[in-house]
Amino acid sequence: MPRYESAPQLTNDYITSVWEMLPRYVRPTLLLQSETLSAQLGCDITIASETFQYTGSFKFRAAYNLLSSVAESRIVTASSGNYGQAVAYACKLLGKKCTVVMPVTSAQVKVAAVQSHGGSVDLIDVQKISRNERVQQLLDEQPGAFSAQAYDDYRVVAGNSTLGMEILNAAAFDVILVPVGGGGLSSGQVVARDHAGARTEIIGAEPQPGNDAARSLRSGTLTYNEREPATIADGARTLGLGRLNWEILQHGVADIVEVPDDITLEALRRYFRYLNLKVEPTGALSLGALMTAPERFQGQRVCCIVSGGNVDPTVYASALLGE
């Protein structure tokens, strides 16, 4: 495995220890082969679904690995979505207290999910204060609290790499297709591949509205969106990749496919129709990438990662009806 300047702690020994410990605390991913999708797209497709992971997304792998390794008992984080739930549930299991900063516009179901795990929700008006500023305020008010990063942390990347471990153990895939937001999940797959010494290509699937990672890869320089991108894939509404994530992805991914939102929604509908799988829009990005560039994957053995399943019923119903 390469050495990374921004995280010298990311060693083979460290990954080995995480792969030994973390699987005892997470649910194994659900692997599903699909004859129908394979026939439609001309390749051999397996889905690795994290929709039944604790708190409904892969983020629990990251949150549990990170928070079980820090001594602090008070945790602060900013998340409007899956990471907040994952941190809240991990804190509950680990006997820590957490505060999750969320925009006041967050879906009620997401606020309720954090609270149901015993987390405190701190609602902010993002027009008036940024999430990071508010996290800093809370850290100033609570000396000794720990700020949990959602992707730019080697312990997050290592936690996410356990999903890659499960996938690589299951079959000799040519490609793993993985949604890209801040780059935590995708860089975890690169680390897993390199640690296992496998030759599997890792290919990112990024929403076309908000294609900072694809642009970064093309230009060779970490590039940011000017504002939070307006994409249906709400888990990928990030300004840019984390520093460590970029360092890992720059030479670690073979490509990043930009997926238009309408194809992401069509992928969501195919999961519903052909696999009985409820996925959130962000989770549908990897199948969306296959549908965007099917010729790229002809005849290959492809694993599509579904990152999570948490989506509001009204959003999901609209997506199903194609509205």
Q: Is 32 one of the binding residues for a copy of itself (CB under 8 A)?
A: yes
- Is residue 80 annotated as a catalytic residue, yes or no? yes
Neighbouring CB atoms inside 10 A of 93's CB total: 15
Q: Which of 161, 186, 187, 307 is catalytic?
A: 307
Q: Min. distance of Cβ 44 from a copy of itself in angstroms?
A: 17
Q: Is 28 one of the binding residues for a copy of itself (CB under 8 A)?
A: no
Contact 19, 162 (CB under 8 A): yes
Q: Is 14 one of the binding residues for a copy of itself (CB under 8 A)?
A: no
> Rounded to an integer, what distance in angstroms lies between the CA atom of residue 266 and that of residue 291?
9
Q: Min. distance of Cβ 169 from a copy of itself in angstroms?
A: 17
**Angle 24-30-31 from CA coordinates, rounded to 5°:** 125
- Is residue 212 annotated as a catalytic residue, yes or no? yes
**Nearest to a copy of itself of 28, 294 (CB atom):** 28
Among 23, 52, 166, 296, binds a copy of itself (CB under 8 A): 52
Q: Is 131 one of the binding residues for a copy of itself (CB under 8 A)?
A: no
Q: Min. distance of Cβ 56 from a copy of itself in angstroms?
A: 5
Nearest to 236 by CA among 285, 296, 172: 285
Contact 57, 49 (CB under 8 A): no
- Is residue 206 annotated as a catalytic residue, yes or no? yes
Burial class from Cβ neighbours inside 10 Å (0-12, 13-18, 19+) for residue 76 reads buried
- Is residue 210 annotated as a catalytic residue, yes or no? yes
Q: Min. distance of Cβ 265 from a copy of itself in angstroms?
A: 12
Print the SS3 string covering 50-88.
Answer: CCCCHHHECHHHHHHHHHCCCCCCEEEEECCCHHHHHHH
Q: Is 36 one of the binding residues for a copy of itself (CB under 8 A)?
A: yes
- Provide the Cα torsion 112, 97, 153, 142; round to 10°: 110
Q: Min. distance of Cβ 198 from a copy of itself in angstroms?
A: 26
Among 30, 94, 170, 198, binds a copy of itself (CB under 8 A): 30
Helix or strand holding residue 121 (H, E): strand 120-124
Q: Min. distance of Cβ 27 from a copy of itself in angstroms?
A: 9
Among 9, 12, 17, 116, binds a copy of itself (CB under 8 A): 116
Q: Is 115 one of the binding residues for a copy of itself (CB under 8 A)?
A: no
**Among residue numbers 55 through 94, which ones bind a copy of itself (CB under 8 A)?**
56
Q: Is 309 one of the binding residues for a copy of itself (CB under 8 A)?
A: yes
Residue where the block lists tokens 């008006």: 125
Nearest to 321 by CA among 207, 49, 313: 313
Tokens linked to 189: 């797959």
**Among residue numbers 253 through 282, which ones bind a copy of itself (CB under 8 A)?**
269, 272-273, 275-278
Q: Is 170 one of the binding residues for a copy of itself (CB under 8 A)?
A: no
Q: Is 118 one of the binding residues for a copy of itself (CB under 8 A)?
A: no
Neighbouring CB atoms inside 10 A of 26's CB total: 19
Q: Which residues contact 117 (CB under 8 A, 6 or more apart)?
A: 55, 85, 88, 89, 91, 92
Binding footprint of a copy of itself on the chain (CB under 8 A): 30, 32, 36, 51-52, 56, 109, 116, 269, 272-273, 275-278, 309-310, 313-314, 316-318, 320-321
Catalytic annotation, residues: 59, 80, 206, 210, 212, 307
